[in-house]
Chain A
């Protein structure tokens, strides 16, 4: 089973709202990722968690706040977003971070976010 699930599928929020995106995997993967993808562009890395600790923050604005409650779950808390933050938010996981193994990355279906 190579499934990563994400909820919600779609989210519309105002600039003053607080919302959260959720991601779950049951593959025993120890690395989890948040990406942002705009139309006709490749995914852009936001955060990497390795063994439930934040290992990479790609200088993401603080209005995006990641959280990894356990090895299967990854959240992205959103607050005071801007219209330009509207995008597809993708969660991914891979078996481990680093090392010499191939460690393919598997993506969830994404949350399509619209900020009004």
Chain B
């Protein structure tokens, strides 16, 4: 079983839509959780860390459910510029020195 699992998509949504991505992780000892955004042929960029209480940054809301080992990212009022691959990343668990990456979810926002 993979350490981190994500739906690869693609998710094709119109501008202004709300879209949600989910991610599950396999090791309950995992310590910290992140969403990264990666544009084509660029490096991953940290979008937000995900805290147990949930957190929001503008149009982006992240939630963590430790009991279900589940992480989510909600994007409201999608913009064309949100088109990218979103990587769910989990730190620790099997090896506390490592970051474990999901396969990424592709988002295409259409005009």
Say if the beta carbon of B95 comes within 8 Å of chain A: yes
Interface residues of B in 94-110 (CB under 8 A from A): 95-99, 101-104
Q: Which residues of B contact A105 (CB under 8 A)?
A: 34, 46, 89, 91, 99
The binding surface of chain B is classed by DSSP as: strand
B32 contacts across to A, CB distance below 8 A: 101-103
CB of A81 within 8 Å of the partner chain: no
Which residue of the partner chain B has the closest CB to A2? B46
Q: Is B42 an interface residue (CB 8 A)?
A: yes
A side interface size, CB within 8 A: 27
* Contact flag A97-B97 (CB < 8 Å), given A42-B87, A103-B91, A104-B34: yes
Q: What's the Cα separation between A103 and B41 when bound, in Å?
A: 25
* Closest chain B CB from A57 CB (angstroms): 12
- A107-B45 contact given A41-B103, A42-B104, CB 8 Å threshold: yes
**Is A90 part of the contact surface with B, judged by Cβ < 8 Å?**
yes
How many residues of chain B are within 8 Å of chain A by beta carbon?
Answer: 23
Q: Is B49 an interface residue (CB 8 A)?
A: yes
Most chain B CB within 10 A, of A42, A56, A100, A104, is at: A42
Which of A43, A102, A107, A109 has a CB less than 8 Å from the CB of B49? A102
Which residues of chain B come closer than 8 Å to A101, judged between CB atoms?
32
Closest A residue by C-beta to B106:
A40
| Residue interface bits A77-116, CB-to-B below 8 A is 1, else 0 | 0000000000010100000011011111111111010000
> Does A21 interact with chain B (Cβ within 8 Å)?
no
Contact in complex: B98, A45 (CB < 8 Å) = yes
Cα-based distance from A41 to B89 in the complex (angstroms): 14
Chosen A-B contacts, 13 in total, with CB atoms closer than 8 Å, are: A31-B97, A41-B103, A42-B87, A42-B101, A43-B44, A43-B101, A48-B98, A98-B92, A105-B89, A105-B91, A107-B45, A108-B43, A110-B43
Instruction: Please report A residues at the B interface, Cβ cutoff 8 Å.
Output: 2, 31, 33, 41-43, 45, 48, 50, 55-56, 88, 90, 97-98, 100-110, 112
